[in-house]
Amino acid sequence: MTSEAPRRQRADARRNVDALLDAATAVFGESGVDAPVREIATRAGVGVGTVYRHYPKRSDLVAAVFRHQVDACAEAAPVLAAEYGPAEALGRWLGRFVDFLATKRGLAAALHSGDPAFDALPAYFDERFHPALAGLLDAAVAAGEVRDDVPAVDLLLAVAHLCLPAEGVGPDHARRMTAVLVRGLRLVSPIGVLP
């Protein structure tokens, strides 16, 4: 019976952390990263002390939310690959990547604030997203469903640039333009550089 108690505590602690990260993601999306910690705790169904026990500084919580969302997006790649054909899985994952980037617009200022808590995040982003996309892209290339002359890193950068905020366009603009990009990838013969 004593071995069950620590296991239950670890599971409870993991659920608390997951609830905190989900709540913080939602609250940050609605109210920005300066939203009151009490609002996050209430939404997560935990006390404020639980938030501070896991994330003593706000920047710790912001970085954890970012990693949590990166992980969820990256981990979707093998799930999509198992459910769809290679090109379809690639397109669906890129759509998920667009959604990820769109929800991070509110975090951009915090992530570029110079706080050392965020220093490792760009490398984490690359470590998780590049292999996820490369696996999907390689499978689609091997199946002859997409072009073989676009490296995964270029595709990540292209989609990231499509997601940059622009005046006069709605939130679905990046998704539409990414769909155009994916259709272009499906043109198997290289079309070269425009003159």
Domain residue spans in the chain?
1-56, 58-189
Mean pLDDT over 10-39 rounds to 86
pLDDT at 126: 92
Distance CA 82, CA 167 (A): 38
**What topology is assigned to 58-189 in CATH?**
Tetracycline Repressor; domain 2 (1.10.357)
Q: In CATH, what number does 1-56 get?
A: 1.10.10.60
Residues 6+ apart with CB under 8 A from 15: none
In this chain, the answer to whether the domains covering 1-56 and 58-189 adopt an identical fold is: no
Question: What percentage of the chain exceeds 90 in pLDDT?
Answer: 57
Mean pLDDT calculated for residue range 120-128: 91
Tell which phi-psi region holds residue 192, choosing left (phi > 0), alpha (psi between -120 and 50) or beta: left
pLDDT digit string, tens, across residues 156-190: 999 988 888 788 886 788 899 999 999 999 876 55
Note the pLDDT tens digit of each residue in 55-113. Answer: 999 989 999 998 999 999 999 999 999 999 999 999 999 999 998 887 665 566 777 77
pLDDT band at 22 (very low <50, low <70, confident <90, very high): very high
Apex 152 CA angle, 147 and 153, nearest 5: 135
